[in-house]
Amino acid sequence: MATAPTTAVPQGEEDPTLLTSSTSPGENGNNGVVDEKLEPSPQASPKNGLKFWSIFFALCLLGLSTSLEATIVTTALPTIIRAIDLGSEYTWVGNAFLLASTVIQPFIGQIADIFGRRWPLLFVTACFVLGSGIAGGATNAGMLIGGRTVQGLGAGGILVLIDVVVCDLVPLQERAKYLGLVRITGALGSSIGPVVGGAIADANWRWCFYLNLITGGLALVYLILFLHLKHEPKPWKVALARIDYVGTCIFIGSVTAILLGLVMGGVAFPWKSANIITPIVIGGVGWIAFHVYESTGFCKDPVIPNRLFSNRTSIAGFLMAFDGALLLYWVIWFLPIYFQGVLGTSPLMSGVNQLPLNMFLVPSGIVAGGTITKTGKYKPQHFIGFAMISIGVGLFTLLGPDSAKAAWVCFQIIAAIGLGIILVAILPAIQAALSDGDIARTTALYAFVRSFGGVWGVTIPSVIFNGQVDNFLYRISSADVRQHLANGQAYGFASMGSVQGLPDDVKNEVLGVYTDALKTVWQVGIAFALAGFLLVFLVKQYDMSRKNETKFGLEEKTGNAGQEEKGEQHAETKLTDSDGRASE
């Protein structure tokens, strides 16, 4: 573990209690305090050569592959169901991937601290590729679900480690820019996934999985050749003894129970069923027990250390990450209901209609990352992001059957700008408040709360929507249509295009029910967006120009380090230290 550096704070505020000073007072001439009247000068980063950009290309390719996979399979699922005859087990094609990728993430952070970044990243990438091959060659439901589970384990690790490696390679103030570029490739994959999935499904659904053999395999080759990072290896006995086996088992069991309840609620069993309530309650109690155990002396090296929650900025950051992911899924899951259920478009045209949202996620994220890198200020980005989301989601409440195309296009753009900003601006704030020695575990927890938030971002609006539809069923004159919409069937009824085939009078009644139910969904969404906005007030603005203190940076040629220590280089030659600062 690296020695925790001092994190500078604005005047009048104290450093986080968890940080141990490694910088002498006055080293920067101001005792580490940011002068709010001056812009912090960004730390010079090492020259990014072939090795850096090869690694970065591989990371972006992995981000593209994992995000593309999720949306491709969702689109192609009806074809896969018919081809393999999945029956009622079809839900596990998506749920197995979701569960495996979510519960593994905090554990991956600890493994990356103990064994370094290279081998864990190679392993999870290999798992993702292997799982893709198994799923692509599946001949029955068990084989397909097994392949998706292995895929999920790999994808969960990838989502953590690509961010960890980026943070190891670049200084704090530049991370938002590079993380933004990685996020953008992920957003691109999510955007094109439905179209690619539809096209592949029509030709050969197995290529929905085999495609990852190409992209993931290429990324794996690049990582093997170029991913050589610093690491201080320990004897296997010592390394294995550091793993938090008990805490990991409690955590994975608890979160799995909660997720099972959430993904099966309203689908396999009613929400009031003991089959749903029991696992959620058991999972919640287990999660509390996990944090109690992590706080005791029995746990020598916690998988989620309590110090990650020791200051208000990190706590607010994790809550904002959860809220931002929740809102992202809230929007991308329920805009299609408006397009397909209310406007009557096909699933393909619904995807086209969502292009304004997907297209503006990309540039807003790029601008946010570049702005943070240039100014060293992340808090204004948080305010702008959640404000734009609040406005955009609020405007969605105005949408109805007769809304102009320009209206829903502009509303999506406003929401997308906010979502894109939040996508890249929160992790740097959390890391600024914590030690670089905790990069891996901070990033792993950040990835987990985002994944967990995404599950709630589907569950909560689904419960609201289905509940409101049931409340409004009395307005529909046809008993047969009421039966097709009741008890959570309204989402599927809309996505199958059934609304537009109804007689005009019944169709108008159904459109009114959908419109009013969606209005409630968006109104509750406003509350979550405003909650995120209020959380920003808890965030402190830390100095982001500090040195990169991670021990897992890019390996350098021995010549530079050795010559610098021996004083054999020419005085006029500029070298770049391992901490990223230029020396002369």
182's tokens: 């990685």
How large is the average pLDDT for residues 371-389?
95
Q: What is the pLDDT of residue 250?
A: 96
The identity of residue 313, as a single letter, is: T
Whether 525 has a pLDDT exceeding 90, the answer reads yes
Q: What is the pLDDT of residue 14?
A: 39
Q: Cα-atom radius of gyration of the chain, to the nearest Å?
A: 25
- How far is Cα of residue 425 from the mean position of the Cα atoms in its chain? 12
Instruction: Return the SS3 of 269.
Output: strand
582's tokens: 């230029």
Contact 158, 66 (CB under 8 A): yes
429's tokens: 């704030």
Contact 295, 407 (CB under 8 A): no
Whether 561 has a pLDDT exceeding 80, the answer reads no
- Which of the pair, 538 or 5, is modelled with greater confidence? 538
Q: Per residue in 230-289, pLDDT tens?
A: 878 888 888 899 999 999 999 999 999 999 999 888 777 888 899 999 999 999 999 999
Residue 484: closest CA among 463, 270, 497: 497
How large is the average pLDDT for residues 379-394?
97
How large is the average pLDDT for residues 425-430?
94
Q: What is the pLDDT of residue 48?
A: 67
Contacts for 76 with CB less than 8 Å, ≥ 6 apart:
197, 198, 200, 201, 205, 208
- Which of the pair, 351 or 353, is modelled with greater confidence? 353
Q: What is the pLDDT of residue 294?
A: 92
How large is the average pLDDT for residues 471-480?
89
d(CA 491, CA 510): 12
Mean pLDDT of the chain: 82
Residue 557 pLDDT grade (very low, low, confident, very high; cuts 50, 70, 90): low
d(CA 249, CA 244): 9
Contacts for 15 with CB less than 8 Å, ≥ 6 apart:
6, 7, 8, 9, 21, 32
Least confident segment among 197-206, 513-522, 559-568: 559-568
Residue 158: closest CA among 192, 191, 127: 127
Task: Provide the 8-state DSSP code for 341.
Answer: I
Percent of the chain residues past pLDDT 90, beyond the cut: 47
Whether 395 has a pLDDT exceeding 60, the answer reads yes
Contact 104, 153 (CB under 8 A): yes
Burial 453-481 (b: 16+ CB within 10 A, else e): bbbbbbbbbbbbbbebbbebbeebeeeeb
396's tokens: 């969605």
Q: How many CB atoms lie within 10 A of CB 404?
A: 9
Whether 345 has a pLDDT exceeding 50, the answer reads yes
Contact 447, 160 (CB under 8 A): yes
Q: What is the pLDDT of residue 40?
A: 41
d(CA 111, CA 127): 16
Q: Per residue in 434-469, pLDDT tens?
A: 988 889 999 999 999 999 999 999 899 989 998 899
Q: What is the pLDDT of residue 204?
A: 86
Which residues are paired to 583 by β-bridges?
A: 575
Residue 243: closest CA among 410, 111, 47: 111
Residue 163: closest CA among 369, 381, 378, 415: 369
Give the highest mean pLDDT range of 93-97, 235-239, 409-413.
Answer: 409-413
Instruction: Return the SS3 of 390.
Output: helix
How large is the average pLDDT for residues 26-49?
42
d(CA 485, CA 506): 13
Helix, strand, coil percentages, rounded to 5, for the chain: 70, 0, 25
- Strands 582-583 and 575-576 turn out to be antiparallel
Q: HSE on the CB side for 139, CA within 13 Å?
A: 0
Contact 54, 180 (CB under 8 A): no
Whether 109 has a pLDDT exceeding 50, the answer reads yes
Give the highest mean pLDDT range of 158-172, 173-187, 388-402.
Answer: 388-402
Instruction: Return the SS3 of 399.
Output: coil
Contact 396, 330 (CB under 8 A): no
Whether 560 has a pLDDT exceeding 60, the answer reads no
How large is the average pLDDT for residues 570-578?
36
Q: Per residue in 306-316, pLDDT tens?
A: 999 989 999 99
Q: What is the pLDDT of residue 267?
A: 76
The greatest distance separating any two alpha carbons of the chain, rounded to the nearest whole angstrom, comes to 89
Residue 559 pLDDT grade (very low, low, confident, very high; cuts 50, 70, 90): very low
Percent of the chain residues past pLDDT 70, beyond the cut: 84
How large is the average pLDDT for residues 365-388?
93
Q: HSE on the CB side for 378, CA within 13 Å?
A: 32
Give the highest mean pLDDT range of 53-57, 322-326, 545-549.
Answer: 322-326
105's tokens: 């993430």
d(CA 209, CA 199): 13
